[in-house]
Each structure stands twice: as structure tokens, then as C-alpha cells.
Amino acid sequence: MSEKQDAGHLKLQRMPGKTDEQTMAYTTLLPHVRHAYAMGRWAGKGFPEGQPGIQASVDIVTEQCSLGRAGNLGPQIDLLVTQAMTLDAAFTDLMNQASVNMGKHPDAVDRYLRLAMKAQAQSRATIEALAAIHRPREQTVRHVHVHEGGQAVVADEFHHHAAGGQIENDDGQAHAAGAGKSPECTALPCADPVGAPLPIPHRAGKEEVPDARRRTRKRRTEGQ
């Protein structure tokens, strides 16, 4: 009996330097509290006991959030799999409803088919999201190594890692110009190892460009 009385109560602990009203406002704005309340209302409709206690719902949602923050995507994978199955069941039921009204109520058939296609599209999108979690991603890191003589060697490194994981052989540091260079990587051959000097202009200004209109006038004068 006491559990039913406490089912609608949420345990709060006063925050340091905050009033009871401020503590209540902060707690109600937390994502796991708001969503736990919403999910409890939706889930409680399918059980005779009704809506579960808010504190129990908050504890479960907080536990799931902690697992996701630690990199454990098992609950999220189960969520996507079950959602895809539920959407597929909705697609099947809507298609059956469309077949029942076929030939009698064309407007109803059209609505059922549209809803069935929407359920099918959402189921496919959910399966694609599930496949993206298991599919390892590829990341290309391009390095430009500048050697003596003005030669530049571009090297590409490919890193494969699963979603939510870290790059393999990653030291957590930003790649510098010489990082990740292969020992077999050598500079391109150059005729002059010192490198070609920068061109220095020996004249001041640009050469005069002849005026085509003056030439035309001169030719016309000679022709006359």
C-alpha cells in the first residue's frame, strides 16, 4: 500500500545554495526526468496496473543513460530492432485493412495504403540506422610532408573504427606535419637538391604593350 502511495512522488535532494523551488525547477528540466514521466504515461496504458511510479521510471532511464554515456549501445540496438518489428507489424495490419476495403471504399483504401507506406519507410529507416551502428566507418587523414628541395609528399592514412568507438592506434594528439610518416616514404627526385631560386625581377615596371588601334590607323594612312 505504501508503494502505491509513493508511486507518484519523486525523491528530491536540495541543491547547495538553492531554494526548494529552484531545486524543483532544475529537476523537472532534466531530460531523464521529463522523458521518464512521458514514457511512463505511454507505457502504463498497456498494463492493468496503470502508470508506473515516477521514481522507478527515473531510475531506469538514468541507468540507461549511464550505459549509453559509457559507450554501451546494447539498449539502443534493442530499441531499434523492436521499433523496426513494430513498424513492420503496423505495415502488415494496414495492408490487411486496405485489402478488406478494396472495391468498396476507395478513399479508405487510399488512406490505409498511404499509412502502410509510411510505416514501411520508417521501418526501413530504422533498419538502416541499426546497420550504420554496426558498419565500421572509414576516415581519411591527409598529411603533407615538405622535404628539403621544395618537394612535397602527400600521404593518406585510412582509419577504420566502429560507430561510437575510437580510431585505432590513436594517441589522442593532433597529427603534426611529420606524424604518421612511413619509413619508406621518400622525397621525389629533383635535379637540383638545393631547389630553384625565387625569380627576382631585373627590370622595374612592365614592358610596354603595343596599341593595336595605333597600328590600324597607321595602316589606313599608308593605304590612303
Question: Cα(84)–Cα(121) distance, rounded to whole angstroms?
Answer: 10
Question: Cα(33)–Cα(54) distance, rounded to whole angstroms?
Answer: 8
Q: Percentage of the chain with pLDDT > 90?
A: 21
Region of residue 50 (left: phi > 0; alpha: psi -120 to 50; beta: else) = left
Total length of the chain: 224
pLDDT on residue 1: 37
Question: Cα(38)–Cα(34) distance, rounded to whole angstroms?
Answer: 6
Any idea where the domains of the chain sit in the sequence? 11-69, 73-167
Q: What is the DSSP track for 87-139?
A: HHHHHHHHHHHHHHTTTT-HHHHHHHHHHHHHHHHHHHHHHHHHHHHHSPEEE
Tell me the pTM.
0.51
pLDDT on residue 107: 92
Per-residue pLDDT of the chain (224 residues; tens, 9 = 90+): 344 545 567 777 778 888 888 888 888 888 888 888 888 777 777 776 767 788 888 888 888 888 888 888 888 899 899 999 999 999 999 999 999 999 889 999 999 999 999 999 999 999 999 898 888 666 677 766 666 665 555 555 555 555 555 444 555 555 545 554 555 555 556 556 566 555 655 555 566 666 656 655 656 656 55
Question: Cα(130)–Cα(87) distance, rounded to whole angstroms?
Answer: 14
Question: Cα(62)–Cα(31) distance, rounded to whole angstroms?
Answer: 9
pLDDT on residue 28: 82
Q: Scanning the structure block, which residue is given the C-alpha cell 629533383?
A: 190
- pLDDT tens by residue, 35-79: 888 887 777 777 767 677 888 888 888 888 888 888 888 888 998
Q: Please tell me what DSSP assigns to residue 202.
A: S
Q: Which of 155, 152, 151 is nearest to 140 (CA)?
A: 155
Q: Which of 156, 179, 160, 180 is nearest to 168 (CA)?
A: 160
pLDDT on residue 2: 44
Give kind and range of the element (H or E) at residue 6: none
Q: Scanning the structure block, which residue is given the C-alpha cell 628541395?
A: 149
SS (H, E, C) 60-73: HHHHHHHHHHCCCC
| CB-count burial class (<10 Å; 0-12, 13-18, 19+) for 91 | buried
